[in-house]
Structure 1
Amino acid sequence: MSAPTAPAAPQPPSAAAKRPRATPLRAHLACARMEFRTALTYRTSYLSSFAMMLLQIWLLTVVWRALYDGRTEVDGLSLATMTAYATLTTLQYQLVSPWRSSPIDQRVREGKVAIDLLRPVGFPGQMLAGQLGWASSAVPVLLVALPFALLIGAGQAPASTAAGFAYPVALLGALLVNQLLGLLLGMVSFWTLEVTGALMAYRFIAQFFSGALVPLWFMPGPVRLAAEWLPFQATAYTPAAVYLGQIEGSGIAVALGVQLAWIAALGALSAFVWSRARRRVMSQGG
């Protein structure tokens, strides 16, 4: 009779087993953190954008003061409100800007999208998280620029307590609308490979109809009507107008509801476009 074999000694858990299992939230945060660090890596570009923003705030203040030509109000709008609006939209556009494009077209051209598809989280989620991480790199700039804006007299407090509480919600809505628009534009590259021309047109249209260049209240009737029916006004005009009291009372709830409706519509459209784009990638063997 053979001797009984000794039980095998328990093996220590492997490093992979010890590692906490990645959740979708952790994965998306990792994507955002990676893009945040990438944005801060290019310090010359980062600091130059900061300097240009401060210069733009000062120039806009000078221009609007010259246009008012000593008058305290134009069409019922005070000079202080107008300079505060120009300053606020400039600061906001460090977070919510059509110039911050999606990296999708570059990843499609270089074939890196094939690696993205192998990751345990969805491709649109990866891109949105990365875009949000890149946008959040502007927060340190804003913390420095805000005292400068107050110093030159181009800033002011929220128009009311309700405006103060509603503004961060409106700003978050503006950020989400802008990121979804950027995601849709980026996914066009699955069909065209190159979106430079479309991006140039998008930047001009988005900046104008968002109210970042000219407030909606100064636009002619038909142009303002068109702006109100497009999603761009939700990215700049809405939060600034809420903050300054140009939208108040029940109008605040309506404005936030419009932002939410655009987020839902653009989210559904993004999901549909991605379902088509993914089939295209698979059909090409990507």
Structure 2
Amino acid sequence: MSADTAQQHRVPPPPARPPLARVGRPRQMLDFYATVARTAVQEQFQYRAANYMYMIGMVVEPVIYLVVWSVVAEASGGSVGGYTPGGFAAYYIVWMLVRNMNIVFTPYGWEFRIREGQLSGMLVRPIHPLHYDLAYFAGWKVIAVLLWVPIAVVLALLFPPELSVNLAQAATFFVAIWGAYVIRTLLLFVLGLVTLWTTRVAALFELYFAAELLLSGRLVPLDLMPDAVLRWVDLLPFRSTFGFPIEALVSDLSGPQLVRGLLAQLFWIGFGWLLAMVVWKRAIRRYSAVGN
């Protein structure tokens, strides 16, 4: 299992039957999301020490990237591709928040759901399992953001960032981090459904995460990637999940560029939702109940 999915592998407990008599109406859906998200907040607060240790462990990755690129920038006359050491500091401090917002239910967890019979229970509830995943991990973000703040302050003191944000950038960033969360949830939901066809899925999952690491802006700002790679980036959803939310806040993007980024996210949300529904209908036909 990749390090990126270590915490995601902790499968959230199946919810009690939702307090909804007729799930489907907008108000009832909002009640469902609010209830599940509130439950997630309460549960993760009970594990705040474990969550904080995990968060501190996550500092290692961005700090390594930050130190390496800062040294490269200084050796190159003070900047690389327009990024100064302070620019890299801003990028990777925001990177931590975006990465935490992108923690969703891992594809590896589907093996557990099937083996333990959780999926059987989900199928008899009056709501699609995808809604539960979206609601639960959305609640988790409250704890993630609260834990990120003091770490971001410490990193900002150690590595002073260069960051100038206007209202349009801040508003776009707020929308973009949630758009990224929805896109990644949909894509990994579809990827996890492969488990219903075969149990030999680890290699496929690792291939996906490797592509995401290289083409999303997580390993290195996409502005520093070769043009040949950027042509692929524009055709794939990874930039919408990592690169664009970060760039919206730390880069000097124009109004049209911000709008295009949000429209790209909207496209991938629509595409991901359609793909998830189509694959779900086909995958569930292959499901054989497992459980006690």
Are the structure 2 counterparts of residues 156 and 91 from structure 1 closer, same or farther at C-alpha, using a change threshold of 3 Å?
A: farther
- Check the 8 A contact 1:65/1:79 in 2, yes or no: yes
1:23-62 paired onto structure 2 within 5 Å: 23-43=28-48, 45-62=50-67
Say how many residue pairs are matched.
265
Which residue in 2 is equivalent to 1:148? 154
* Distance (Å, rounded) in 2 between the aligned partners of 1:77 and 1:285: 53
* Distance (Å, rounded) in 1 between the aligned partners of 2:176 and 2:219: 19
RMSD: 2.5
1:46-195 paired onto structure 2 within 5 Å: 46-69=51-74, 71-97=77-103, 101-102=106-107, 103-193=109-199, 195=201
* Distance (Å, rounded) in 1 between the aligned partners of 2:117 and 2:166: 51
- Check the 8 A contact 1:104/1:186 in 2, yes or no: yes
Are the structure 2 counterparts of residues 154 and 206 from structure 1 closer, same or farther at C-alpha, using a change threshold of 3 Å?
A: farther
Partner amino acid, structure 2, of 1:65: S
Are the structure 2 counterparts of residues 128 and 193 from structure 1 closer, same or farther at C-alpha, using a change threshold of 3 Å?
A: farther
Are the structure 2 counterparts of residues 242 and 65 from structure 1 closer, same or farther at C-alpha, using a change threshold of 3 Å?
A: same
**TM-score after normalising by structure 1:** 0.82
Q: Say which SS state the counterpart of residue 188 (structure 1) adopts.
A: helix
* Distance (Å, rounded) in 2 between the aligned partners of 1:48 and 1:254: 37
* Distance (Å, rounded) in 2 between the aligned partners of 1:30 and 1:76: 45
Which residue in 1 is equivalent to 2:14? none
Instruction: Compute the displacement of 1:28 (Å).
Output: 3.2
From 219, 238, 247, the equivalent of 2:244 is: 238
Are the structure 2 counterparts of residues 165 and 203 from structure 1 closer, same or farther at C-alpha, using a change threshold of 3 Å?
A: same
Structure 1 unaligned spans of 5+: 1-18
Are the structure 2 counterparts of residues 246 and 80 from structure 1 closer, same or farther at C-alpha, using a change threshold of 3 Å?
A: same
Partner amino acid, structure 1, of 2:265: Q
* Distance (Å, rounded) in 1 between the aligned partners of 2:202 and 2:143: 24
Partner amino acid, structure 2, of 1:152: L
Are the structure 2 counterparts of residues 188 and 131 from structure 1 closer, same or farther at C-alpha, using a change threshold of 3 Å?
A: farther
1:14-52 deviation per Cα after TM superposition (whole angstroms, max 9, x unaligned): xxxxx8857333233333344444444445542221212
User: Given the alignment of the two structures, is residue 221 of structure 1 paired with residue 261 of structure 2, yes or no?
Assistant: no
Q: Matched residues, percent identical? A: 26
Moved more, 30-39 or 226-235: 30-39
Moved more, 221-230 or 120-129: 120-129
* Distance (Å, rounded) in 1 between the aligned partners of 2:42 and 2:193: 24
* Distance (Å, rounded) in 1 between the aligned partners of 2:185 and 2:197: 20
Q: Which has the larger radius of gyration?
A: 1
* Distance (Å, rounded) in 2 between the aligned partners of 1:32 and 1:195: 30
Q: Say which SS state the counterpart of residue 161 (structure 2) adopts.
A: coil
**TM-score after normalising by structure 2:** 0.80
Partner amino acid, structure 1, of 2:235: W
Partner amino acid, structure 2, of 1:188: V
Instruction: Compute the displacement of 1:201 (Å).
Output: 2.2
* Distance (Å, rounded) in 1 between the aligned partners of 2:138 and 2:201: 20
* Distance (Å, rounded) in 1 between the aligned partners of 2:130 and 2:124: 13
* Distance (Å, rounded) in 1 between the aligned partners of 2:270 and 2:95: 24
User: Given the alignment of the two structures, is residue 260 of structure 1 paired with residue 266 of structure 2, yes or no?
Assistant: yes
Are the structure 2 counterparts of residues 28 and 249 from structure 1 closer, same or farther at C-alpha, using a change threshold of 3 Å?
A: closer
Instruction: Compute the displacement of 1:135 (Å).
Output: 4.1
User: Given the alignment of the two structures, is residue 279 of structure 1 paired with residue 249 of structure 2, yes or no?
Assistant: no
- Check the 8 A contact 1:184/1:273 in 2, yes or no: yes
1:152-187 deviation per Cα after TM superposition (whole angstroms, max 9, x unaligned): 234344443321221111112111111111211222
Instruction: Compute the displacement of 1:203 (Å).
Output: 2.0
Structure 2 unaligned spans of 5+: 1-18, 23-27
- Check the 8 A contact 1:174/1:259 in 2, yes or no: yes
